[in-house]
Amino acid sequence: MRNIKKLHTAEYRPMGDLETWSPLPTRNLQMIDPFIFLNHHGPQTYPPNNDGLPFGPHPHRGMETVTFIIDGDIAHKDSGGHKSVIESGGVQWMTAGKGLIHAEISSDEFKEKGGPLEILQLWVNLPSRLKMVEPSYKGLQEDQISVWKNEEDTVKAQVVSGNFKGIRGAFDTPTSVDLSLVHFNEDSEIKLEIPKSHNIFFYVIRGKLEVNEIEVPELHLAEFSKNSEILEIVSREKSILLLGHAEPFDEKVVFGGPFVMNSEEEIRQAYDDYKAGKMGSWDE
């Protein structure tokens, strides 16, 4: 079975009244190539007449954002003309590519009525050959996302991209990244085979899991070695896992706020292009 090198605790990084936990990047772990950033917002309950999510218009270039709505909703708008409100159980996938501006806020209904909110946003890097592709966006509600279930109906995977035990993901993506949201009932288990060459992203959102006989509590990210293809996952309580895996790109990564490129010069160019309006304009 594949060995766990280390468990990483998500760091608490609140954003105003938005509860936020982040396991990546931290002081101890910069990235799990090509997975470069995760913010876990909530769980929390918003009162009626709230301000909702605080993510107004901002740019991106050189990476992708994958947003999982566990509870609540997100109203998305971007400079490419895309608009949607994705609700609980849904997923958004945005390829920033050469650059666009987007906003992720709560719907008017959520701000008026309030309610439970839990949302995760994962950033996936793009290789240098794809950093300047045309931007794209797709949002899918829960009933539009592919699902795999075991025979006992105790483990359910929402297959977001790539494939999970033969089920193809709901999103076609520019790179071969496998992403699934796996829901476990208590006293359930699953065995997976993941290529040894792949890096694994394994983050427990809720509950507690045993993977290859090591316990991974909620709000923890497991960092794996590459000694085996086998993962044996056991859940003693109801749990949710964000699971990804992919071939690493093995390229230099330079962060510049909302931009992820391969050099400092490319970051400076991104800021210049944004200021020059080359990532689109924003109309309220």
Residue 47 has pLDDT above 90, yes or no: yes
- Does 134 count as an annotated binding residue? no
Measured CA to CA, the distance from residue 26 to residue 24 in angstroms comes to 5
pLDDT of residue 281: 86
* Identity of the residue numbered 35: F
Measured CA to CA, the distance from residue 17 to residue 243 in angstroms comes to 28
As a whole number, mean pLDDT of residues 159-183 equals: 96
| Opening angle at CA 282, ends 91 and 127, nearest 5 | 50
pLDDT of residue 284: 62
Measured CA to CA, the distance from residue 270 to residue 99 in angstroms comes to 8
In the chain, the percentage of residues whose pLDDT exceeds 70 is: 100
- Does 104 count as an annotated binding residue? yes
Chain mean pLDDT for the chain? 96
Q: Is 43 exposed, middle or buried (0-12, 13-18, 19+ CB in 10 A)?
A: middle
As a whole number, mean pLDDT of residues 203-221 equals: 97
- Does 102 count as an annotated binding residue? yes
> H or E stretch including 202?
strand 199-206
Q: Which domains does the chain have, with CATH numbers?
A: 4-275 (2.60.120.10)
Give Cβ neighbours of residue 116 (< 8 Å, ≥ 6 apart): 42, 43, 44, 45, 46, 71, 72
Residue 214 has pLDDT above 90, yes or no: yes
As a whole number, mean pLDDT of residues 272-279 equals: 96
pTM of the model: 0.97
Give Cβ neighbours of residue 240 (< 8 Å, ≥ 6 apart): 70, 181, 182, 183, 184, 204, 205, 206, 207
- Does 245 count as an annotated binding residue? no
pLDDT of residue 166: 95
As a whole number, mean pLDDT of residues 39-64 equals: 97
